[in-house]
Amino acid sequence: QHRVGGIDLPVQLPLTIPPGETRVLTISLPRSAVVSDNAPHSARLAFEPAANLVCHINDKPVPVGQTFSPENLRPGDNTVALANTNALPATLNLVELDLEYDPAPPVLLPDNALYFHVDANGSDQHPGTAAQPFKTLARGIAAARTARASGENASKQVVILLHGGTHYLAEPLVLDARDANTVFRAAPGEVPVISGGRLVSGWQPDILGRWKAKVDLLDFRQLYVNGKRAIRARSDCPDDIVPYGDLEFIDAKAGFLFPDGTMADWRNQQHIALGFFNSWSHMICPVERIFRDAHGKAIVLMRQPAFFLASHKEGVRARFPAYMENALELLDAPGEWYYDRPAQTLYYMPREGENMAEITAVAPQIETLVRIEGTLERPVHGVVFEGITFSDATWLGPNREGHIDVQANFTTDAKSLFSRDGSLVKQHNEYVKSPANVVLRAAERCRFERCTFTRLGGAGLDIEHGSRQNLVNRCDFFDISGSAIQIGDVQTTDHHPDDPRLIVCDNRVSNCRIDHIGIEFEDSVGVFAGYTRGTVIACNEIHDLPYSGISIGWGWGEEDAGGGAYEVIPFRYATPTPASGNRVERNHLYRLMQRRDDGGAIYMLGNQPGTVIRENHVHDCGPGGPGGVYLDEGSGFIEITRNSVYRVATPINYNNRAQDRIATCFEHDNFFGVLPDQPGFPEAIARRAGPTANRLRTHQEPGQ
């Protein structure tokens, strides 16, 4: 659903029309909704429940439930006359006017907006017009700020039109309260890309089928060749390795004994890493050094404290590594690469059909592309990105301190730890979120419409630190190392903020497509929401993920009022967390849990009063389980209704029996295990789940 203010019917529903009577409603349409370069090509009027009424819009008859020409619609007020010619009263819970656009609904803008053009082939000495565009986004933003400094333009909306091509950034684009009501829009018919990458050229043949090129960058973790992610040089670990050293001390010398003693001769040993899988977790630990033992085998010492934390953290621990990566000696397969940092030399083995004289190779050089950052006192509001692609950013944290995953791409470090039953736990589960490459902080009423997030080395998008009423709509997220979208966080300022303005609330993710994320960190999820209020995740298509699709909540009940099921925690809270009123509805989720275990298409943690999981279509998840709707520890006060779940290990799984939380959840009228070819399959639920058609929807729901 794409709701636009000022269009909703100004009448309370439900509405009852007695037999033989007519009711006249009014719909107010903005001028740009029906008179623009992208006017609607059709319209449709519908009711819930369906009703056989005679309808006139602006005194002209229109069919109910069928498309009609929108030429009769006009800016401003439109009258909708509904006549009941039946013998029984007609009660309407929903009156809906759909406007369909090609290719997409317009962003509604005032007629006096300020326009600036940015073209990668332009010049920052130009005035920023269509004929003489700026070259860089930074120049366009500076021009907008200067224009707004004058009194007559201070409150005007700014539109920065990005023309096609790649707009390379050498540093993050930072927007603040000065940039309120700024729209970054793709120029008509063009596809602009905001990239944090650097082109790699000057390739020379090396040995063993490899090529090399000089790259003046400190570090990066990804490489893209002809738009396709290349593979960091890696190999599976042999089966006959054994643990080595003392695992009981945080500064002890510990690691593994490998049979291949030549590993001791590998270069840049501190840049090598070992990867570990265990159930839901994916951990990456850096190597400290490698040397030979008395028998000629290789002793691989791991860097501390990362290895100690991975070996002692609560939940599941690192045992034996599954793979090793990032050594030139491992570069032995087409599509693999290695960056020798001290020598600033990039090595690559081309795939079949790649001509090294013609390839386009991009290495990401920054960790943040865009940061929309206000303050609690002065939030940034009304920033819109429309039709933009965000790509080619990295995240270097795992290179520095490893990636000691706890769950959902949240990691642990050596701060604020305590011991529980011999395991190391973060105080109040305040683990560290893996950052996104596009960030909203203290942002209100910002929107991402029809954007693409791809070729990213962190998560895709963060919405955090008091951000509220933001919309992510009709966006595509794919080829991302971490999670796609992260809403809120899990720190003290999230679960028990001392200022209510810190609460992340009323944000919406709708009509998005999320697939093939968690490429580098398999513990990632499609959409994560922490201690948030009023988050809506609706009408999305999420598929082909290594772990869970949607994950909401945190804390395993320990930060809820009164604490959780564990006796050993630092202290308890008497007041609840903000987590409440979240909605997960009409999503299509499939082919999830493909690599990790103990997760679900929809995964919940902690008390969330007023939260509803409704009319989702979930199927074909696994082999990891449970795979369906998963109410994990502490999940409470959640309604689960009218969901279709089949071909998963367990359609609904309760792991919230402690404190009798299971009794607080209301599960009813679901379709668990009913296959599409069986009687009773909810075809309407399956049909409505996922992104809606490309339309501007205007409606009024009961009580609004």
Query: For residue 36, what pLDDT band results from cuts at 50, 70 and 90?
Result: low
pLDDT at 569: 82
Per-residue pLDDT band at 703 (split at 50, 70, 90): very low
Q: Is the pLDDT score of 494 beyond 80?
A: yes
Residues 192-204: what's their mean pLDDT?
98
Supply the mean pLDDT for the chain.
92
Whether the CA torsion 38, 42, 43, 44 is positive or negative: it is negative
What is the structure's pLDDT at 152?
Answer: 84
Q: Which of 39-53, 207-221, 457-471, 496-510 has the lowest mean pLDDT?
A: 39-53
Lowest mean pLDDT among 416-425, 529-538, 680-689: 416-425
For residue 10, pLDDT beyond 50:
no
Considering the chain, what percentage of its residues have pLDDT values greater than 90?
Answer: 80
> What is residue 102's predicted lDDT score, i.e. its pLDDT?
56
User: What would the mean pLDDT of 615-639 be, rounded to a whole number?
Assistant: 97
Confirm if 331 and 325 have CB atoms less than 8 A apart: no
Contact assessment for residue 100 and residue 44, using Cβ atoms and an 8 Å cutoff: yes
Sequence-distant (6+) residues with CB within 8 A of 239 are: none
Residue 194 to residues 54, 222, 223, Cα–Cα distance (Å):
50, 17, 16
**Which pTM value belongs to this model?**
0.85
CB-based contacts of 102, cutoff 8 Å, min separation 6: 38, 41, 694
More confident residue, 461 or 6: 461
Among 107-116, 198-207, 392-401, the minimum mean pLDDT is found in 107-116
For residue range 284-321, list pLDDT tens digits in order: 999 999 999 999 999 999 999 999 999 999 889 999 99
* Residues 517, 454: Cα–Cα separation, whole Å: 9
Instruction: Give the pLDDT band of residue 563 (cuts 50, 70, 90).
Output: confident
CB 362 within 8 A of CB 392: yes
Q: Using pLDDT thresholds of 50, 70 and 90, give the confidence band for residue 702.
A: very low
DSSP string, 227-292: TEE-EESEEEPPTT-EEEE--SSTTS-EEEEES-GGGGG-S-GGG-EEEEEETTEEEEEEEEEEEE
pLDDT in tens, 160-196: 999 999 999 999 999 999 999 999 999 999 999 999 9
Rounded CA gap, 175 and 380, in Å?
Answer: 8
Q: What is the mean pLDDT of residues 52-64?
A: 92
| Strand, helix or coil for residue 213 | strand
Q: 256-287 pLDDT, tens per residue?
A: 999 999 999 999 999 999 999 999 999 999 99
Measured between alpha carbons, how far is 380 from 55 in angstroms, rounded to an integer? 43
Q: How far out from the chain centre does Cα 514 lie?
A: 8
pLDDT of residue 191: 95
Q: Encode 96-131: b = buried (16+ Cβ within 10 Å), e = exposed.
A: bbbbbbeebbbbbbeeeebbbbbbbebeeebebeee
Question: In the predicted model, what is the mean pLDDT of residues 400-414?
Answer: 95
Contact (Cβ atoms closer than 8 angstroms) between residue 225 and residue 359: yes
Average pLDDT over residues 67-92: 88
pLDDT above 70: residue 242: yes
> pLDDT (tens digit, 9 = 90+) per residue, 324-366?
999 999 999 999 999 999 999 999 999 999 999 999 999 999 9
Written as one letter, the residue type at 586 is R
In the chain, the percentage of residues whose pLDDT exceeds 70 is 93
The per-residue pLDDT for 147 is 94
Gap between the Cα atoms of 652 and 563, Å rounded: 25
CA distance 355 to 492: 53
